[in-house]
Structure 1
Amino acid sequence: MNQSARRIGRTLALVLPVVLVLSGTLAVTRVNWSGGSQSVLTASSEDVSTPAKTRAPQEALRDRLLLELQEKNPGVALTTLQQEVDARPSLAKHCAWIARALGRAAVRQYGPSRAQSYARPVCDTAFATGVAHSV
């Protein structure tokens, strides 16, 4: 009986500090230290089992071209779109969708008549369609 009591004591001596540290850490992360009444999200409350969403190549290209349209002009963005589709033929099925998005963005930034002046035969007439549908 003496050895079993000693074994239980050793187990508690090892486990108890770990339990206390973990419970104290969790308690500290749950405290709203800012003093406000809003809830605070903590790292321990995140769902880590959900995988990060990856963006499709066509969405990344569209976002990059929309930024290029804002920084430069729609003509440059359309040229880049044509080059990307030529380099990666798998993007061809998304070309019209991207060109229409560029057309809508061009109308927002430049107005309908100026946006239409940048129209090119990239992806058929999708850019012009995007401009026309935004008016």
Structure 2
Amino acid sequence: MTHTARRIGRSLALVLPVVLVLSGTLAVTMVPWADNSPSQVLTASAEDVSVPAKPRAAQDVLRDKLLSELQQGENPGVVLGHLQEQVNGRPSLAEHCMGIARALGRAAVEAYGPTKAQSYARPVCDTSYASGVASMG
């Protein structure tokens, strides 16, 4: 009798985990609230494709362009000159000039150190560049 019981126990030990895994998998895929239709899956993945990207504000584009020039080794005085030219050409940028100049001052300190960065100060956007240098120094 013990031999038969062992054989049944071994068979159950091998078969039972397989049965439990399969039945659990089937139970999860068959829940009534799951929508398994292919159109639902495609709709969910295609929803964001047709949404156009929001255009970036002119001041953000200009700031990133000038910071890039500075990071590529352009003289901070020259970059400040470019900022002044852009503000003169597009007066709508004037309200953002101080923030852009401060960002350039901070970036110049990171690139050149506070003393050398301060030597490039120009009277662009009041003293905002110098303020940016001072905030990092």
TM-score calculated relative to the size of structure 2: 0.64
* 8 Å Cα contact 1:99-1:126 kept in structure 2: yes
Displacement of 1:68 after TM fit? Answer: 1.1
Larger radius of gyration: 2
One-letter amino acid of the structure 2 residue matched with residue 87 of structure 1: G
Equivalent residue number for residue 61 of structure 2? 60
The reply on whether 1:130 has 2:132 as its aligned counterpart is yes
Note the alpha carbon deviations across 1:66-96, whole angstroms, 9 max, x for none: 0111221211110000000011111111000
The answer to whether the Cα contact below 8 Å between 1:85 and 1:95 also exists between their aligned partners in 2 is: yes
| Secondary structure at 2:49 match in 1 | coil
What does 1:28-39 correspond to in 2, within 5 Å? none
Look up the match of 1:8: none
Question: Do structure 1's residue 44 and structure 2's residue 41 form an aligned pair?
Answer: no
Q: Distance in 2 between matches of 1:92 and 1:80?
A: 13
Structure 2 residues without counterparts, runs of 5 or longer = 1-37
CA distance, structure 1, for counterparts of residue 94 and residue 84 of structure 2: 9
Give the alignment of 1:1-135 within 5 angstroms.
Answer: 23=38, 44=45, 47-48=48-49, 50-71=51-72, 72-135=74-137
TM-score normalised to the size of structure 1?
0.65
**2:66 maps to amino acid:** L
Q: Which structure's residues are more often helix, by fraction?
A: 2
What CA distance in whole angstroms lies between the structure 2 residues aligned with 1:58 and 1:83? Answer: 13
Query: What SS does the corresponding residue of 1:114 show, helix, strand or coil?
Result: helix
Give the corresponding residue for 1:7: none
In structure 2, distance between residues paired with 1:80 and 1:73: 11
Q: SS of 2:56's equivalent?
A: coil
Identity of aligned residues (%): 66
The two structures, once aligned, show a CA RMSD in angstroms of 2.3
